[in-house]
């Protein structure tokens, strides 16, 4: 494992919290001040042994600041604190209730109000007054957070319970996206960001001549260049299409890459401070790198107050692109993020906001806030809240199963409510404590029988910087369809393919591969186009080689004539049953009314014999051709009925002119690639080499299919269902989650 912590390490392939030889699960995090000690004691009585301690602000209204950093060059600690909310108060109350308790510490790090008043040039600003939050380019803010982190760790290590602390969760000031971007503008024009941008350009281009050539602007100079404005962006994107010519957006792309550099600096300094200050091998995690949320219409989702599909890309504006090297930072042991707020209720899949599978690939992990609200107290109307104990049980079992199957670590979390004081909800927790202990004490192993969605997290740099296409192709694709195929899935970064240890799957989905240069083409051929796999690509695949818009990269990949039409259009595809879509029972239409272009389309009546039309595109008057195509390479996909061993170059390539692809189509294509059809279409399936779980809002009979004969034990009851079987028949309530543990007989 690449982490340096002895408390967070791999055990039988699974990232685990460990104390000595004991694997620790589950975890509880109480954040609501009123009655927190009472609820911690109740959860201890339910069987919890690991608790989160929170470095709380001196006033509840100043939650995101701490007594450890109070102003400009002003630091402190909790000595003399008497409000009952100190770290020592929290730890003591928990130890009274659970003498064997272990702790994880968390804090946020908004700059103190006094600091902000003294350093206005270091605050995020667009066209209005400076905000309360510091700029990512503020070296002084990064140094302040690092100094605060060192003081927190040093203070903790003086406490009698210090050796019970396993690690630290660093929430920074913004949970991974800039407040400025979420509320006002994609562009921070603070003095410190302006200086950082000029330094970035000087390093990239050397002098004025180099900058002028790169930007195609003879008037620009390094001494007075400015970050873009929101007004300029809106004006410039109105002149082109969703995928503009790469040369037309160089100024904007350079700004975003500059912010990326500042993001890495901010997170790395704070994480390193924890590592440097700790005398023991604790772990450090941060809340960031939310690539699974590409296309996140955040203001729409939380406030119903956004710009819809034309909203700015908040991850791009926050520098959260091309983050693979940041995940590799030795100071970073784990991510910690909420679960996707749009997909928490019954019947949905469950996904961390952070890029968890890429972390597990690196021998690291992600902690997920399992914090769905409930029918109890004031949270009943919150989106996704459990409406009764049955929903809570089915949902919390689903969450545990998804996390266990993918090497993640969930923790039950209470925000702003007294819900865990409710006996019915606590009864669900008491039932699930031994289930989590059983799940997270088992080996973790890879299964090929899953769909890997591979995100190019540099792709927003190739767009007009709006969120609409990414919303369809990544977020809505994952939530509405990928999670409901009846098969498990994973989410990785495109740059993960460069790793020698990237796992083999039987189905791959690449929804946003816009830039396709020779190096990327070779990488895809070497890593994905082999062993009878099915590789599915979205619209605009290869629309650019990084320098110019063209259909040529797509032609090279798909081996069929393609053309690029300088128009923008909404897309629909009518797909029909075919032998290449096993199990697809009826024709269906998919697509969306969002408009994007230019249009990459196969040339009508020019498909080679190796290409099959699976669906017809309905997009605009000037095109009457295929919208879903499959090309067999070599012996083709594993499930195509042809005999022969599949090796390098044997695969099927699929091109779709519309997104998101329906769950039924994804399922059929995955089965064509040789994936085991674990459960029924519409079910959420979590599976690895040692378990399978099925979650559904719909009750009824299910037949669970396993890739090979296995011994099967019910994870809740502990009852053996079969000593060696390939199928298991179960009955689901509505809603329900069943978790089966599997071992070789």
Helices (H), 473-570: 518-527, 552-558
Query: What CA–CA distance (Å, rounded) separates 267 from 259?
Result: 12
Reference 628, options 673, 580, 593; nearest CA is: 580
Give the separation between CA 718 and CA 713, rounded to whole angstroms. Answer: 6
Give the separation between CA 426 and CA 226, rounded to whole angstroms: 55
DSSP string, 40-74: HHHHHHTT--EEEEE---SSGGGTT-BTTEEETTE
Residue whose tokens read 């400076």: 130
Please name the residue that has the structure tokens 């509505």. Answer: 734
Q: Are 560 and 605 in contact (CB under 8 A)?
A: no
Check residue 63 and give its pLDDT. 60
On whether the CB atoms of residues 581 and 612 are closer than 8 A, the answer is no
Model confidence at 662: pLDDT above 90: yes
CB-hemisphere CA count at 13 Å for 548?
Answer: 5
Two tokens, residue 364: 């690291």
- 553-577 core/surface letters (b: 16 or more CB in 10 A; e: else): bbbebbebbbbbbeebbebbbbbee
For the stretch 205-264, pLDDT in tens is 999 999 999 999 999 999 999 999 999 999 999 999 999 999 999 999 999 999 999 999
Cis status, amide bond into 598, omega within 30 of 0: yes
Question: Can you point out the beta strands (E) in 264-319?
Answer: 283-286
Q: At what angle do helices 208-215 and 191-205 cross, to 10 degrees?
A: 90
**Average pLDDT of the chain to the nearest whole number:** 96
Nearest Cα neighbor of 105 from 367, 346, 293 is 367
- Beta bridge pairs of residue 170: 107, 286
Q: Which residues pair with 23 in a beta bridge?
A: 18
* pLDDT at 4 > cutoff 90: no
58 has a pLDDT exceeding 80: no
* Tokens representing residue 255 in the block: 């700004």
pLDDT at site 59: 56
Pick 110 or 45 by higher pLDDT: 45
Q: What residue has token string 């409406």?
A: 387
Q: How many helices (H) and strands (E) does the chain have?
A: 19, 29
Mean pLDDT along residues 293-321: 94
Q: Closest Cα partner for 409 from 714, 104, 164? A: 104
Predicted confidence at residue 378, as pLDDT, reads: 79
Residue 17: predicted pLDDT: 97
Cβ atoms of 96 and 88 within 8 Å: the answer is no
Nearest to 163 by CA among 108, 100, 79: 100
State how far the Cα of 676 lies from the Cα of 679, in Å rounded to an integer: 9
Token match 């007054």: residue?
129
Q: Give me the torsion for CA of 278, 171, 26, 416, rounded to 10°.
A: 130
Higher local confidence (pLDDT), 63 or 315: 315
What pLDDT score does 161 carry? 98
pLDDT in tens, 503-561: 999 999 999 999 999 999 999 999 999 999 999 999 999 999 999 999 999 999 999 99
Per-residue pLDDT, 307: 85
End-to-end CA distance of the chain: 29
Of 539, 460, 571, 464, nearest in space to 240 by CA: 464
Map tokens 């098969």 to a residue.
Answer: 487
Q: Tokens in use for 565?
A: 């039409």
How sure is the predictor about 61, in pLDDT bands with cuts at 50, 70 and 90?
A: low
Locate 325 and state its tokens.
């090297």
Q: How far apart are CA 466 and CA 469, in angstroms?
A: 8
**CATH code assigned to 684-743:** 2.60.40.1180
Give the pLDDT confidence of 365-404 residue by residue, as tens digits: 999 999 999 999 778 889 999 999 999 999 999 999 999 9
149, 274 in Cβ contact below 8 A? yes
Which runs of consecutive H residues, i.e. helices, occur in 73-216?
A: 87-97, 113-118, 139-156, 179-183, 191-205, 208-215
Tell me where in the chain the CATH 2.60.40.1180 domain(s) lie: 684-743
Per-residue tokens: 85: 């909310």
Measured between alpha carbons, how far is 514 from 520 in angstroms, rounded to an integer? 11
CA separation, residue 534 to residues 375, 668, 675 (Å)? 43, 10, 10
CB atoms under 10 Å from CB of 585, counted, come to 10
pLDDT at 609 > cutoff 60:
yes
Stretch(es) of the chain classified as CATH 3.40.50.880: 451-498+507-672
Q: What is the pLDDT of residue 500?
A: 96
Q: Do strands 409-414 and 165-170 pair parallel, antiparallel, or not at all (unpaired)?
A: unpaired
Give the C-alpha separation, 214 to 386, whole Å.
54
More reliable by pLDDT, 381 or 685: 685
CATH class in words for 451-498+507-672: alpha beta
Percent of all residues in the chain with a pLDDT value above 70, rounded to a whole number: 99
Query: Which residues lie below 8 Å from residue 483, measured CB to CB, with a gap of 6+?
Result: 343, 348, 349, 351, 489, 684
């Amino acid at each position: 494992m690449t982490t340096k912590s002895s408390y967070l390490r791999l055990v039988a392939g699974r990232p685990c919290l460990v104390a000595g030889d004991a694997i620790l699960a589950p975890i509880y995090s109480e954040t609501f001040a009123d009655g927190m000690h009472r609820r911690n004691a109740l959860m201890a009585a339910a069987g919890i042994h690991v608790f989160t301690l929170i470095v709380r602000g001196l006033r509840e209204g100043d939650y995101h600041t701490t007594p450890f950093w109070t102003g400009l060059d002003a630091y402190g600690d909790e000595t003399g604190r008497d409000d009952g909310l100190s770290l020592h108060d929290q730890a003591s109350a928990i130890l009274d209730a659970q003498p064997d308790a272990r702790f994880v510490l968390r804090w946020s790090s908004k700059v103190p109000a006094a600091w902000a008043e003294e350093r206005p040039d270091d605050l995020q600003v667009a066209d209005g007054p400076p905000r309360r939050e510091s700029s990512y380019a503020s070296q002084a803010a990064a140094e302040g957070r690092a100094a605060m982190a060192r003081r927190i760790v040093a203070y903790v290590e003086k406490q009698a319970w210090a050796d019970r602390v396993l690690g630290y969760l660093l929430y920074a000031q913004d949970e991974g996206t800039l407040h400025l971007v979420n509320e006002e503008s994609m562009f921070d024009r603070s003095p410190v960001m302006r200086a950082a941008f000029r330094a970035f350009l000087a390093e990239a281009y050397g002098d004025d001549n180099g900058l002028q050539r790169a930007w195609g602007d003879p008037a620009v100079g390094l001494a007075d260049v400015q970050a873009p404005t929101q007004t300029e962006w809106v004006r410039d994107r109105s002149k082109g299409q969703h995928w503009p010519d790469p040369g037309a957006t160089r100024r904007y792309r350079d700004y975003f890459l500059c912010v990326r550099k500042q993001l890495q600096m901010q997170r790395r300094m704070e994480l390193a401070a924890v590592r440097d200050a700790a005398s023991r091998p604790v772990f450090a995690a941060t809340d960031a790198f939310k690539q699974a949320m590409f296309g996140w219409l955040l203001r729409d989702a939380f406030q119903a107050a956004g710009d819809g599909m034309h909203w700015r890309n908040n991850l791009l504006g926050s520098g959260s692109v091309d983050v693979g090297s940041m995940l590799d930072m030795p100071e970073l042991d784990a991510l910690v993020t909420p679960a996707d707020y749009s997909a928490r209720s019954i019947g949905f899949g469950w996904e961390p906001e952070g890029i968890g599978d890429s972390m597990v690939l690196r021998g690291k992990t992600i902690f997920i806030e399992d914090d769905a609200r409930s029918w109890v107290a004031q949270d009943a109307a919150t989106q996704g809240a459990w409406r009764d104990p049955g929903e809570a049980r089915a949902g919390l079992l689903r969450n545990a199963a998804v996390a266990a199957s993918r090497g993640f670590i969930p923790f039950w979390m209470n925000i702003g409510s007294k819900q865990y004081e409710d006996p019915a909800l606590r009864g669900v927790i008491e039932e699930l404590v031994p289930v989590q202990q059983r799940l997270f004490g088992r080996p973790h192993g890879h299964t090929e029988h899953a769909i890997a969605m591979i995100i190019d997290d540099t792709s927003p740099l190739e767009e007009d910087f709006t969120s609409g296409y990414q919303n369809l192709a990544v977020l809505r694709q994952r939530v509405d369809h990928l999670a409901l195929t009846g098969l498990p899935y994973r989410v990785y970064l495109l740059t993960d393919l460069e790793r020698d240890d990237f796992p083999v799957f039987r189905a791959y989905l690449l929804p946003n591969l816009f830039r396709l240069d020779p190096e990327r083409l070779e990488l895809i051929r070497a890593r994905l186009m082999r062993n009878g796999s099915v590789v599915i690509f979205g619209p605009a695949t290869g629309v650019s080689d990084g320098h110019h818009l063209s259909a040529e990269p797509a032609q090279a990949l798909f081996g069929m004539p393609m053309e690029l039409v300088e128009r923008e259009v909404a897309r629909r595809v009518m797909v029909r049953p075919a032998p290449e879509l096993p199990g697809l029972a009826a024709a269906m239409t998919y697509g969306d009314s969002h408009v994007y272009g230019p249009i990459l389309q196969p040339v009508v009546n020019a498909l080679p014999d190796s290409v099959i039309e699976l669906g017809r595109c309905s997009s605009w008057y000037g095109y009457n051709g295929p919208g879903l195509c499959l090309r067999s390479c070599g012996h083709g996909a594993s499930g195509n009925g042809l005999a022969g061993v599949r090796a390098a170059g044997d695969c099927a390539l699929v091109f779709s002119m519309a997104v998101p692809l329906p769950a039924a189509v994804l399922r059929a294509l995955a089965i064509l690639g040789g994936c085991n059809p674990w459960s029924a279409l519409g079910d959420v399936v979590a599976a690895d080499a040692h378990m399978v779980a099925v979650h559904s809002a719909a009750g009824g009979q299910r037949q669970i299919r396993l890739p090979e004969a296995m011994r099967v034990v019910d994870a809740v009851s502990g009852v053996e269902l079969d000593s060696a079987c390939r199928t298991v028949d179960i009955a689901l309530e509505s809603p329900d989650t069943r978790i089966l543990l599997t071992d070789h007989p």
